[in-house]
Amino acid sequence: MTPPAGPSLQTAPIVVQHPGSWANATTHYCPGCGHGLIHRLVANALDELGVRERTVGVAGVGCAILIYNYLDVDFQEVPHGRAPAAATGIKRARPDLVVFTYQGDGDLAAIGTAEIVHAAARSENITVIYVNNCVYGMTGGQMAPTTLPGQRSETSPEGRDPATQGHPIRVAEMLATLDGAVYLERVSVTHPENIKVAYRAVRKAFTYQLEGKGFSLVEFLSPCPTNWGMKPIDAMRWIDETVSAYYPLGVIKDREPVHLAHLVQQPPTAFREDYMHGFRYETVTQATEDELGRHTRRTHPFGRRGGRWVSVDGEEYRPSDHDDSEDED
């Protein structure tokens, strides 16, 4: 039985093809790795925004250091963790260029914490693609700053014990406390719906850069079946069921930078709506103090006008209370 005659490969209309920003190299990534997908999303976004010709990527150290083999754009490859600093140099020297870093969790959240925090604090107009797979991949599966409590790795063979090995870092939430961080979203690539959301996030992050809005970061929860010791499908399932429970997906922050002058001149009504870890920041006025019937702690993080952190149910956050309870434990 002969197969039905279809259009020939030469004449068939092209339904789908590699993006122009794609270099079409043979992959070196393990089966089930998330990097290939994420590279592709970046390439698609650069294509769609038409910026391939003026893009410079900065490759962090890790499995994805070889991203410059897969994307057909100019690249700089820099020391471990320093990509945000190099990207700062590129963008400041050539503001007309579109600059992004591509960093793993060891690169960004361990050795490169100072660089990412200060790039965000300066609101560098760059895009950071941050790939969090909860493990050091390239060096063979050691514990990363993002390794979950209880997760086994080469250097936490009994499972990560927060008592001795510390707690994981939620990078997007940590950066959200910085006024300079404009857009922070956490996404995953576990199934087509999530990939669509992830693509929109990447595109938005680059769009913000083109609009000159400032620092944006997209955190990907990405599978590492090899170092997790799982089948690729189980790795995806583990992200959906466990990893994204610890690192919740969604927009962590999406707002213009808060400027001091604005806060000093007008009450920061918009800022009051921002909840961080269940607390919101509220301006303390004489009226507030009259209402409370006592003098509040006037911390002054935003200039002369003092403020305080208040929980959702109106309880004031007091560092000393917090410390006391820790001590009792």
Which residues make up the interface to other proteins (CB under 8 A)?
A: 23, 52-56, 58-59, 65, 68, 72-79, 82, 85-94, 97-98, 114-115, 117-118, 122
Which of 94, 231 has the CB closer to other proteins?
A: 94
Q: Rounded to the nearest whole angstrom, what is the least distance from the CB of residue 168 to other proteins in the complex?
A: 23
Specify whether the CB–CB gap between 308 and 282 falls below 8 A. Answer: yes
Which of 29, 228 has the CB closer to other proteins?
A: 29
User: How many whole angstroms from its chain centre is CA 191?
Assistant: 19
Q: What burial class does residue 39 get, using C-beta atoms within 10 Å of its C-beta: 0-12 exposed, 13-18 middle, 19+ buried? A: buried
Q: Rounded to the nearest whole angstrom, what is the least distance from the CB of residue 98 to other proteins in the complex?
A: 8
Specify whether the CB–CB gap between 87 and 112 falls below 8 A. Answer: no
Q: Rounded to the nearest whole angstrom, what is the least distance from the CB of residue 87 to other proteins in the complex?
A: 6
Q: Where are the alpha helices (DSSP H) in 26-82?
A: 35-49, 67-70
Q: Rounded to the nearest whole angstrom, what is the least distance from the CB of residue 81 to other proteins in the complex?
A: 9
Query: Distance between CA 221 and CA 210 in Å, rounded?
Result: 25
Which of 169, 187 has the CB closer to other proteins?
A: 169
In DSSP terms, 104 is beta-bridged to 131
Q: Rounded to the nearest whole angstrom, what is the least distance from the CB of residue 57 to other proteins in the complex?
A: 9
Q: Rounded to the nearest whole angstrom, what is the least distance from the CB of residue 102 to other proteins in the complex?
A: 13
Which of 65, 148 has the CB closer to other proteins?
A: 65
Which of 80, 272 has the CB closer to other proteins?
A: 80
Question: How far is CA 186 from each of CA 197, 243, 250, 267, 292, rounded to the nearest angstrom?
Answer: 10, 12, 5, 30, 38
264 token code pair: 């000093």
Which of 122, 237 has the CB closer to other proteins?
A: 122
Specify whether the CB–CB gap between 224 and 135 falls below 8 A. Answer: yes
Which of 206, 247 has the CB closer to other proteins?
A: 206
How many other C-beta atoms lie within 10 A of the C-beta of residue 75? 18
Q: Rounded to the nearest whole angstrom, what is the least distance from the CB of residue 47 to other proteins in the complex?
A: 13
Which of 78, 310 has the CB closer to other proteins?
A: 78
Q: What burial class does residue 177 get, using C-beta atoms within 10 Å of its C-beta: 0-12 exposed, 13-18 middle, 19+ buried? A: middle
Long-range contacts of 74-79 (CB under 8 A, 24+ apart): none
Which of 52, 186 has the CB closer to other proteins?
A: 52
Q: Rounded to the nearest whole angstrom, what is the least distance from the CB of residue 18 to other proteins in the complex?
A: 15
Q: Rounded to the nearest whole angstrom, what is the least distance from the CB of residue 155 to other proteins in the complex?
A: 23
Give the number of C-alpha atoms closer than 13 A to the C-alpha of residue 198, restricted to the C-beta side. Answer: 27
Query: Distance between CA 91 and CA 97 in Å, rounded?
Result: 7
Query: Distance between CA 116 and CA 109 in Å, rounded?
Result: 8
